[in-house]
Structure 1
Amino acid sequence: MTSTEPADTSATSAASAKRAACSQWTHSDRIKRESRHIFNKLHSIAADADFVRRVHYRYASLLVTANLRCGAWYTDPAITSAVSYFKSTDGHTHQWSFSLKRSNLHVSMPDALSKTIPVWCAVLNTASQRKYGVPTSESEAFGLHTPTWMIPPSEHDQIRARIDGFVTALLNSDLDVPRLDKPLQPIFVTPQNDMDMLPSSLANTTATEIVPIVLLSASRFISDSASLDSNTPGGAETGGNSFVYVQGAGDDHENWARGLTPDLFWQHSDALLACEKDLLEEAVDNLVKHHSTASGSRAHWFTPRAVGSEPSDGADAANRLAGTAQGDVEVGNTGIFIGARTAEHNFSPDERALYTRIIHFTSLAPPAVPSNLSFNLEALKISDSEPSSNVYPIHMSPNKKGLLAIRTAFPPAITCAYRTLIDPASAVGSRPKILVSCQDGKDLSGSLVVAILASCFTDTRQLITADESKREHELALTKDTTRRRLQWLVSASPRAAPSRAFLLRVNELLLSHKHKPAPT
């Protein structure tokens, strides 16, 4: 090759491209690792919580509600009055839904904020108008409102076309439809909003013609994960510790939280945020272990603590608890109460005096009894001479093992509850009262309450007192029966709705021919 010929640069270009690709992959891999680290997760959550706090202080007259599960990470329990459970999956494209299980009727952006809750507002407005004549449908706030910058007009119209069907389903259910004198109107707020552009009337909601439902998305939008480093907030927000900001840091807690819950985080937030990055994982592990050892159970997920907070299940304690200090909730006027107690809870004399019978799920080892007496209620009765004679223990675990035990443990418990309800001598005050409790007041106790309500009460909430009528009722049970009894439960205690797996087991138990009474 002579000096006048151009140099061959193909090898050099290929090597440069390879180095650039390798560098980009290394940077991307580092960013992914950083975005999963609990240090960056907690500091990002704290930064987002500051934004939530600023909005709250600006509109202090509005109640703050945490949308579970991940919304609990961003809302300081000191300013939070209640919780809700709107699922994003109810708002996914072509899967829009109004959940009769997660009705969220106790509260007045992910898809949960941009679509699920707007659907909820429109459905309640229309249902109230049809049932009570208010609010007026002429109001601009009455119909479906979705964020125009996220939801295209075609999708908005498709969702709106389904509202009437959702309203009909709600009105035909056993859920209590609230009377709304003013329409609910969603107002969408994100960190990208100019706060000065929000309606000034939010500061004084009593003077407005609407009930504003401010849907606050706490995390700021990051368009490109590769730019995370440039979005690192300054040390002023984190007590001097710099961090990589992670959008939606509270999501998928199973993959990063190491057993930490929002309750534990908020109780120890100062110490956790002050901890060095290299020491934080060990500190979290020690905190979770210490709490588990001290309490004998896992930490609660989230507990609102604002002055005037509703009970964590959103129920009206003053009207329905009749002196129950633990926050137990009665399902309608059935005499069936549901509550939360640890597996090792020792019921005080005052607690036992409130109830005719307490059915309590405990993980303690059961007393040894002959196997052929497992279904004999008389063998399971506790002598009246014992101090806790009205406590009926069920030895079940709140996991898959508990699911398997439903078939054997629930029938005698249902029988025990029924005999208590129909026995005139068992009334506390004017009528019998039964408390069903488990560790979280949800899966175990919720599924048993549904089973008791389905087995012992008619669709009009009347206790079945005649043996022949009860046998006929049990033979006629359907999935619609258990679905409606679940609606009774969530109307009284929204957080008591058991998981789908437990409800399926209840249906198997009540609807299986093996467990139905033989026709006479």
Structure 2
Amino acid sequence: MEGGRVSIYKAARSIKRRDNSLYNALRSIYNDSIFVGEISELWPQLPLVANLRCGLWYSPNFHSTCYFKSTDGHTNNCSFSTSRLNLHLLNLARLKGGCIIVDSTRRGKRFPDSMSKTIPIWTCVLNRAIKDFHDSNDEHALDWDCSLHLPLWVPQTEKASIEERLEEWTQKLKASGADIASLAACLRKPLRPLWISQKTVIWLNEVPHHESWDFTPIILVSASSSTGVSQHRTTSEFSWNYIPGAGDDEESWARGLTPGLFWKHVYDIINSGPDVCNQKVADIVEKSRVSWACRGENALQITVKPAKSVSLSHEESSVALDISNIKINTESSEDSGICWLGSTNVALGTSQIAADEANVDCILNCDRESMSVCLPNAESYLHLPMVSSKFDRFSLLNNLPKAASFAKLNLGQGKRLLVCCNNGEDISVCVCLGILMSLFDEKGTFDDGKSFNVKQVSKWDMRRRLVYVCNFATNARPSRGNLRQVFNFLIGGKDFQHVDTARDG
């Protein structure tokens, strides 16, 4: 009997692995992307935005990205995160009249919690903060809707519990350092979410123009079918099993493939069929890796340009700047450059593009792998390999003193510093946060750490500065564990300037 149970278990696992194969996932994503494209064509003026990371798989034509977590919208555990304000979306909505956000979820749900509750809470809190700003300046906005708009399937009891916390979250936003005045200047009409899934019925001859609405639409598109039944599909050449929300948890199935690589080679991959797909993807990933390695070996000599002032201009004097300064990526979903943090002479980006960046004087590489760079001297490059807190809870904490000392030495000479990591979203963001907190005053002016040495840093101070960083690094997604290490460094790192930054050997 026991042997029979084991064999049944193994058989079930084998069936699950077969159903969740790489080809099934990519073919499901491709099919769902057709639906996303159809919705995008209904409002072609509205930019398509991917909710990281799952949403990024479902179109090759994203205008920008955002980061709303489903955990912030879990039942009876909703929250409003000041570390994920996504304020660049307001500037995008102002310029384009709204936006379309794409995400997906696994079998059994029509929408992920990020769309059911996280984003609706976000729109409501922002609307309330903007209305309060207008009221405090005797600029009473007519019919400025501050209501909480949730989809019909959210129970009234849960809606009531969320509404009880809206004022608390609004005050939290105001205290975060976000520039509410700039937010108010961005929007002519209040934000409001709308929900579209594959089950939504849309009469094509009655699609309203987005400018006809009395609100700024944030259209939430759930890309996948919500059926709870396994769907076996067949084309003229291949048969495959449909996976709802296939783009989720890419580490478990993508085998190193990224959304950018997928869409670059989409027809080769889809037409390869289930038997050849794994090898086809492996070849694509390996060729991409070799290509990046060759770029590193053949990196051009970095040109040293005259140093610019490290102090912020008058318009940039506050911790949270006007979000109109944010650079929106209009080329693709892949990060195509680096993000300069105002006029601080500090930038962050990915290690893949760091070696070819010609507008920096020194590089702090936080990636696991070193890189070939051509800089004026050896002291202009420092490699401090760091890993996420999931793998080492003290990796950042142990390296931040040397990182801050390296930044202090170079920024003090008016040099332009680039901090890079593997994806430019987490570790490099946290390192930049530590540098700005320890070497710059509250106005964003480099002061060699003087204000840091005489002030006791609080978590709110760090959150306010993180808002500043995220205003420019719109793809920033710092993890809680890494942020905790930054805070521990700040409350115990007054003597970092004495750390020897000389590299071994």
Per the TM superposition, whether the score is higher than 0.5 is yes
Deviates more, 1:504-513 or 1:414-423: 414-423
CA separation of 1:222 and 1:137: change in aligned 2, threshold 3 A: farther
2:501 aligns with none
AA of the residue aligned to 1:35: D
Partner of 1:101: 83
1:147 aligns with 2:156: no
Corresponding residue number in structure 2 for 1:185: 192
Q: Which is further off, 396-405 or 63-72?
A: 396-405
Q: Aligned with 1:89: secondary structure?
A: helix
Alignment length (residue pairs): 433
* 2:436 equivalent to 1:453: yes
Distance across 2 between alignment mates of 1:498 and 1:314: 22
Give the one of 165, 168, 171 matched to 1:165.
168
CA-to-aligned-CA distance 1:317-354 (integer Å, 9 cap, x gap): 399xxxxx9633232343322233338x5456xx2xx4
Q: 1:433 to 1:511 in 2, by over 3 A?
A: same
1:479 pairs with 453, 459, 483, which one? 459
**How many Å separate the matches in 2 of 1:135 and 1:498?**
37
| 2:503 aligned partner | none
CA deviation map 1:206-244 (0-9, x unaligned): 343211111001111213x3xx2xx44452xxx642322
**Aligned 8 A contact 2:397 2:489 in 1:** yes
Match of 2:490 among 483, 494, 510: 510
CA RMSD of aligned residues (A): 3.8
With over 3 angstroms needed to count, the CA separation of the structure-2 counterparts of 1:273 and 1:181, relative to structure 1, is: same
Task: Tell me how far apart the structure 2 counterparts of residues 453 and 388 of structure 1 sit (CA, whole Å).
Answer: 24
Q: Counterpart of 1:244 in 2: which secondary structure?
A: strand
SS in 2 for 1:342: helix
1:413 partner amino acid: A
Quick check: 1:59 aligned with 2:47? Answer: no
Give the letter for the 1:414 counterpart: A
Q: Which residue of 2 aligns with 1:382?
A: none
Distance in 2 separating the partners of 1:222 and 1:318 = 35
1:68 aligns with 52
Alignment partner for residue 39 of structure 1, among 16, 19, 23? 23
Letter in 2 for 1:112: S
Distance 1:147 1:31, change over 3 A: farther
Corresponding residue to 2:270 among 251, 254, 273: 273
Is the aligned partner of 1:293 residue 2:290?
Answer: yes
Q: Give the letter aligned to residue 395 of structure 1.
A: L
Letter in 2 for 1:147: P
Equivalent residue in structure 2 for 1:440, among 423, 429, 451 = 423
Contact 2:362-2:417 within 8 A present in 1 as well:
yes
2:123 maps to 121
- Cα displacement (A) at 1:187: 0.7
Report the equivalent of 1:492: 472
Query: Using the alignment, how far apart are the partners of 1:365 and 1:420 within structure 2?
Result: 20
Q: Identify the residue that residue 327 of structure 1 maps to in structure 2.
A: 337
Question: In the superposition, relative to structure 1, how do residues 470 and 142 fare at CA in structure 2: closer, same or farther (>3 Å)?
Answer: closer
2:220 pairs, out of 206, 215, 218, with 215
Q: Distance in 2 between matches of 1:318 and 1:94?
A: 34
Letter of the structure 1 residue corresponding to residue 403 of structure 2: A
Residues 135/295 of structure 1: CA separation in 2 closer, same or farther (3 Å cut) = farther
Letter in 1 for 2:490: L
Alpha-carbon deviation of 1:142?
A: 3.4
1:308 corresponds to: none
Equivalence for 2:248:
251
Please report how far the alpha carbon of residue 454 of structure 1 lies from its aligned counterpart in structure 2 after TM superposition: 0.9
> Aligned with 1:288: secondary structure?
helix
Q: Provide closer, same or farther for how the CA distance between residues 132 and 335 of structure 1 changes in structure 2, counting only shifts above 3 A.
A: farther
Q: CA 1:256–1:435 in 2, change beyond 3 Å: closer, same or farther?
A: closer
Aligned twin of 2:446: 463
| SS at 1:99 equivalent | coil
Tell me if the contact between 1:136 and 1:142 (Cα under 8 Å) persists in the aligned partners. Answer: no
SS at match of 2:89: coil
The residue identity in structure 1 corresponding to 2:113 is D
User: Contact 1:509–1:515 at 8 Å: present in 2 too?
Assistant: no
Partners of 1:83 and 1:314 within 8 A in 2:
no
| TM-score (normalised: structure 1) | 0.73
Q: State the SS of the aligned residue for 1:489.
A: helix
Deviations 1:20-42 (A, max 9, x none): x9xx9999777634431222222
Give the aligned residue type for 2:382: P
Q: Which of 1 and 2 has higher RCO (CA within 8 Å, sep 6+)?
A: 2
**Distance of 1:364 and 1:72 partners within structure 2:** 25
| Amino acid of the structure 1 residue aligned with 2:51 | N
SS of the residue corresponding to residue 194 of structure 2 reads strand
Quick one: distance in 1 between partners of 2:421 and 2:477? 13
How far apart, in 1, do the equivalents of 2:345 and 2:409 lie? Answer: 13
Checking the alignment, whether the CA contact within 8 Å between 1:91 and 1:111 is kept in structure 2 is: yes
Equivalent runs, 1:384-395 vs 2, <5 Å: 387-388=376-377, 391-395=380-384
Instruction: Work out the CA distance in 2 between the residues paired with 1:264 and 1:487.
Output: 31
Tell me the amino acid that sits aligned with residue 175 of structure 1: A
Answer yes or no: is 1:85 the counterpart of 2:67: yes
Measure, in 2, the Cα distance between the counterparts of 1:246 and 1:318: 32
Q: Does 1:396 align with 2:406?
A: no
Work out the percentage of aligned pairs sharing the same amino acid: 30
In the TM superposition, what is the alpha-carbon distance from 1:439 to its structure 2 partner? 3.4
Contact 1:314/1:493 (<8 A) preserved = no
For 1:89, give the aligned amino acid.
T
- 1:256 is displaced (CA, Å) by 2.1
Offset, 1:399: 5.0
* Partners of 2:64 and 2:328 within 8 A in 1: no
In the alignment, structure 2 segments of 5+ residues that lack a partner are: 91-110, 295-322, 330-334, 499-505
CA deviation digits over 1:344-370, x for unaligned, max 9?
Answer: x5456xx2xx44544344656799xxx
**Counterparts in 2 of 1:421 and 1:251: CA distance versus 1, 3 Å:** closer
